[in-house]
């Protein structure tokens, strides 16, 4: 599939450059909006408005939604008012909100001016919710039905209102003041006896989220319940909107990226890497680099402080990287596993003792063969004495044990205290383990040697 | 929401222990299968078959699918043949396949014996595809329509066959020998003029995957195209099955976990952490620990080899952790960013020079202030000489530059050579950077001091 798209991109760019607009129009009409947007990504800024105008109205709006922010801005700046109106009218409200959030203020006011008053009100309502809340990612275009409607009446109603709705696959039964009473799928409406009442067909226990719920929880509920859409309600259980599965997928992807970034000591960003400026990337990375640098100066301080103990033999110094690396690796294995488990809700804070006990046994299983290998290597290959070899291999075992215990308990404690566990991943764990394992090493040297 | 579920779990366990089965039956009937499965997770192995039998037939099958493998096995072993038949009959084929893949052989033969011949054939067909291929995750229960059907006829057909299908939201138009001709949503069928022909309503350009395509590609296509379902075809474009969005979400989650595990130097597993044995966790982790240990012995070898240069001053030795940590942190920031970009297809191998140029500038921006701070710290706080301070801060700058360049180019090169970029994340990058930056440090010391 991927090769086909690459070929398509080249064809589109070639046709556009050769100004073969009639052929290009015919070609574009057969394509999928996501593919067109990808191909348009390689078209020059001058050509973009020309080729975009070749798209039929509905396809144009669908393609527009799939494009990169930079290109959307170029297009809007080039649009006449009526062209802008045509695109904005075709957008679903949640896509319009995304657009408004990304664009600079002067472009936003043009967009809002072209939206019809109802749409403008919906956009403004959604914009009121805090970033990354369920309210901010919902759409307000869902189908509401009444409990006393028959299946046939409900389908008739959907036929009337469905064209403007983001999905008709899941509909909601509401009472007075939009109070949420049940959920019903288009599938059950179609398969049911046409005379059956919606209130008898609906599932009355509806899982819903509050508008202020974190979007991460929303995505977790989708993956737990396998919903097509999730209703969003206010404090009085009135239906305000729905989050659809495609948005939930985007959130999941976003949240996984954010976790990976945090685990790698990066402040999260929601822009794609290539369109983030060097300066912004710098700002994402420098705070942690500086903080961790300060921490590793501490390690240096310990080495300086105990120079008489450590510098007694080259072999003892040469082992420091081994201890630090192994501790770092063992710790990050554990912290990443536990953090991911927490975020998929496979591990919960109440499991902390079970997790520590498990990691303790894993650490022994991993640490003992490593310690034995190092002992053998020092004795046989390097011709070290038994006390030196024993000190190093014991220090290694302690480091592995320590790193696994720290690596599993810190993220769980963070979660329990209401912090994001992903912040307590390898870099912090490594730094703590570095310092403590160096101290253990020095202690062992002083005692044994 | 989460609190409510915890309370529910406790209520269910209490009612079960008190043998209040009638009340428990009424309570369970109002709940969502995913919540029941979660609550049953806390019920003892003896009680589980008793409470499971309280569920109405359809809810029982839906709950069964959501349960942990261990509990499914306990239930199946306790089922009579007719109970097993009842559950198996209610399962969708892809869920039955998952079950068959998880269970030990003697349980599998009982399951297959209770499935009706058609289902058994479908299960066996899907089992033939390689693990993690599109074929292995698809379901064969989709709705096929003919192009000459009118919208009304199509809906009538769906009413007849729909009850056994995993989804009716997206239907497929096929020709002779099931050749895929187009896709049509239930939405467009309902909203259309009842007399309109399917072949005029359908989208003729169908994005489909081959049965042997990797499941990761399948998930990427869902997030790109926002599909509800993706058709799976053979080499002759015959429709064999579909992958639905809930499965795509599971795949996405699985693939993100796998990437995180690889980045943390763990061999991936697809079992939840708490139900993986200590021995299995050990096997996931020890290979990389040993390999990375061997690599850091190399670092030790360099320190030993250049002991005369390094051990000349405690200050020089005490700086080694700073260099190694900073290099590791800077490198993992870059490698994780690039690996995630590659897996979301935001970065492609052809962008390698752009990425290196970007990372080079970021490395300068990050490295210069760090080097200046260290220079100042060594001069002002530690009272070191200018040559020593300059050597260390220059070594730091080189380390940051090196780690960012290695961190971004290795994953891209891996991708280009057909390997998994996630394998070239922090641990390997850190090890390489450790060794090279130590050599640079020694070189700088020899030249400057």
Domain-located, residue B259: no
A44 Cβ partners below 8 Å, 6+ apart? none
Domain-located, residue A22: yes
End position of a domain, from candidates A134, A163, A187? A134
Shared domain for A294 and A443, answered yes or no, is yes
Shared domain for B243 and B289, answered yes or no, is no
A62–B contact, CB cutoff 8 A: no
End position of a domain, from candidates B137, B157, B182? B137
**Chain B residues with beta carbon closer than 8 angstroms to that of A204:** 30
Kindly report which listed range (B262-276, B293-307, B345-359) carries the lowest average pLDDT score.
B262-276
Shared domain for B13 and B65, answered yes or no, is yes
**Which chain A residue lies closest to B351 (C-alpha atoms)?**
A274
A244-254 tens-digit pLDDT: 888 888 888 88
Shared domain for A124 and A57, answered yes or no, is yes
Shared domain for A40 and A108, answered yes or no, is yes
B162, B289, B333 member nearest A191 (Cβ): B162
Domain-located, residue A255: no
B133-144 tens-digit pLDDT: 898 888 888 999
Best CA proximity match to A190, nearest among A148, A150, A236, A217: A150
Give the pLDDT confidence score for residue B153 in this predicted structure: 94
Q: Which of A100-109, A217-226, B364-373 has the highest mean pLDDT?
A: B364-373
Expressed in percent and rounded to 5, the helix, strand and coil fractions of chain B are 70, 10, 20
Compute the count of residue pairs across chains A and B with CB atoms less than 8 Å apart. Answer: 348
Candidates A256, A295, A349: best to mutate against B (most CBs of B within 10 A) is: A256
Residue B214 per-residue DSSP state: B
Query: Quick check: B372 pLDDT over 90?
Result: yes
Give the pLDDT confidence score for residue A394 in this predicted structure: 94
Residue with tokens 């209610």: B90
Residue with tokens 């697809």: B270
Shared domain for B374 and B285, answered yes or no, is yes
Alpha helices per DSSP H over B178-306: 186-191, 198-201, 215-225, 245-263, 278-305
Q: B19 to chain A nearest CA, in Å? A: 25
B216-256 tens-digit pLDDT: 888 888 878 878 899 999 888 899 999 988 888 888 888 88
Shared domain for A114 and A148, answered yes or no, is no
Return the structure tokens found at B409: 């180019």
Shared domain for B160 and B207, answered yes or no, is yes
B295–A contact, CB cutoff 8 A: yes
pTM of the model: 0.79
Give the pLDDT confidence score for residue A7 in this predicted structure: 66
8 A C-beta contact, residue B332 and residue A429: no
Query: Quick check: B3 pLDDT over 50?
Result: no
Shared domain for B188 and B232, answered yes or no, is yes
Give the pLDDT confidence score for residue B421 in this predicted structure: 85
**What is the sign of the dihedral through the CA atoms of A79, A85, A88 and A89?**
negative
Shared domain for A79 and A201, answered yes or no, is no
Per the document, the length of chain B is 449
Domain-located, residue B265: no
Shared domain for B120 and B157, answered yes or no, is no
User: Sheet harboring A229-233: ordered strands across?
Assistant: A209-210, A229-233, A239-244
A191, A248, A274 member nearest B159 (Cβ): A191
End position of a domain, from candidates B137, B169, B204? B137
B294–A contact, CB cutoff 8 A: no
Q: Judged by CB atoms within 8 Å, which residues 8-27 of B form the interface with A? A: none
Under the banding of pLDDT at 50, 70 and 90, the label for residue B124 is confident
Q: A305 to chain B nearest CA, in Å? A: 9
- Which domain CATH number covers A48? 1.25.60.10
B228, B296, B365 member nearest A326 (Cβ): B296
A262-305 tens-digit pLDDT: 888 888 877 788 888 888 889 988 988 888 888 888 888 888 88
* A307:B296 CB<8 A: no
Best CA proximity match to B190, nearest among A180, A185, A280, A274: A185
Best CA proximity match to B3, nearest among B99, B11, B98, A389: B11
Domain-located, residue B110: yes
Give the pLDDT confidence score for residue B196 in this predicted structure: 94
Compute the distance between CA of residue B307 and CA of residue A315 in angstroms, rounded to an integer: 10
B37-66 tens-digit pLDDT: 888 887 888 888 888 888 888 888 888 888
Q: A365 to chain B nearest CA, in Å? A: 7
Shared domain for A306 and A398, answered yes or no, is yes
Question: Structural domain tally of chain A?
Answer: 3
Candidates B270, B333, B395, B407: best to mutate against A (most CBs of A within 10 A) is: B333
Domain of residue A394 covers: 273-448
Q: Judged by CB atoms within 8 Å, which residues 128-167 of A form the interface with B? A: 155, 158-159, 162-163, 167
In terms of DSSP bridges, do strands B229-233 and B239-244 run parallel, antiparallel, or are they unpaired? Answer: antiparallel
Compute the distance between CA of residue A434 and CA of residue A303 in angstroms, rounded to an integer: 11
* A296:B259 CB<8 A: no
Q: Is the ipTM of this complex over 0.90?
A: no
């Amino acid at each position: 599939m991927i090769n086909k798209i690459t070929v398509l991109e080249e064809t589109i760019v070639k046709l556009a450059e050769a100004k073969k607009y009639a052929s290009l129009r015919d070609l574009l009409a057969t394509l999928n909006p996501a593919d067109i947007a990808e191909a348009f990504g390689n078209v020059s800024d001058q050509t973009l408005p020309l080729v975009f105008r070749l798209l039929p109205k509905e396809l144009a709006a669908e393609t527009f939604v799939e494009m990169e922010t930079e290109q959307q801005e170029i297009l809007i700046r080039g649009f006449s008012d009526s062209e802008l109106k045509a695109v904005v009218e075709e957008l679903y409200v949640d896509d319009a909100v995304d657009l408004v959030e990304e664009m600079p203020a002067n472009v936003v006011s043009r967009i809002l001016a072209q939206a019809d008053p109802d749409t403008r009100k919906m956009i403004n309502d959604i914009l009121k919710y805090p970033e990354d809340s369920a309210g901010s990612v919902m759409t307000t275009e869902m189908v509401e039905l009444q409990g006393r409607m028959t299946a046939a009446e409900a389908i008739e109603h959907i036929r009337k209102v469905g064209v403007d709705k983001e999905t008709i696959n899941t509909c909601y039964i509401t009472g007075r003041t939009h109070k949420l009473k049940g959920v019903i799928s288009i599938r059950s409406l179609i398969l049911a006896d046409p005379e059956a009442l919606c209130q008898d067909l609906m599932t009355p226990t509806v899982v819903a989220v509050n508008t202020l719920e974190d979007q991460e929880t929303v995505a977790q509920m989708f993956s737990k319940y396998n919903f097509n859409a999730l209703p969003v309600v206010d404090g009085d259980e009135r239906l305000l909107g729905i989050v659809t599965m495609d948005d939930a997928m985007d959130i999941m992807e976003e949240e996984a990226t954010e976790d990976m970034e945090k685990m790698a000591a990066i402040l999260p960003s929601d822009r794609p890497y290539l369109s983030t400026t060097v300066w912004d990337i710098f700002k994402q990375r420098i705070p942690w680099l500086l903080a961790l640098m300060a921490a590793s100066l501490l390690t240096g301080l310990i080495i300086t402080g105990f120079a008489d103990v450590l510098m007694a033999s080259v072999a003892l110094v040469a082992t420091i990287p081994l201890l630090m690396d192994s501790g770092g690796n063992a710790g990050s294995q554990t912290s990443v596993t536990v953090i991911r488990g927490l975020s998929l809700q496979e591990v919960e804070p109440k499991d902390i003792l079970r997790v520590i006990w498990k990691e303790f046994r894993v650490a022994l299983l991993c640490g003992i063969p490593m310690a034995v290998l190092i002992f053998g290597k020092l004795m046989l290959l390097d011709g070290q004495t038994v006390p030196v070899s024993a000190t190093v291999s014991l220090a290694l075992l302690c480091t592995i044990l320590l790193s696994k215990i720290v690596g599993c308990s810190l993220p769980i404690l963070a979660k329990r205290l209401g912090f994001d566990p992903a912040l307590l991943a390898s870099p912090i764990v490594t730094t703590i383990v570095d310092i403590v394992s160096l101290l253990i090493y020095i202690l062992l040297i002083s005692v044994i040697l």
